[in-house]
Amino acid sequence: MGTIEAAAYIAKATEAEFQRAVIDAAAALGWVSIHFRQMLGNPIGWPDLILVGHGRTVYAELKSERGKVSPKQAEWHHLLRQHGAEVHVWRPSDWSALVAVLNGTAD
């Protein structure tokens, strides 16, 4: 799949498909991804992915284009940021910015 085809696919992706694409892109760029499925003992609102690589840890909340951050998710994001964590909310339309973050070239 070429770059244009991949971008078109990602733009129409479900949240689960988008998550798979992010995990695959992160792995290709040298990151390790951790995803905890919602289950007993996991805190409600915890970010979808923890990405570790290149001396950084990134917490990523993945949303469809119309998906909304829940109040519990916003609480976790705020708490993590208060303690110096790098937290991002990404949607398929954020693909270029997401790749820039993973490449270490984001503004």
Check residue 71 and report its DSSP letter.
H
Average pLDDT over residues 30-57: 88
CA distance 65 to 40: 28
Q: pLDDT digits over 70-102, tens only?
A: 999 999 999 999 999 999 999 999 999 999 999
What's the whole-model pTM score? 0.86
Q: Name which of 106, 95, 104 is nearest 31 in CA terms.
A: 104
Complete edge-to-edge strand list for the sheet that includes strand 32-34: 32-34, 49-53, 56-62, 86-90
- Per cent of the chain over pLDDT 70 is 85
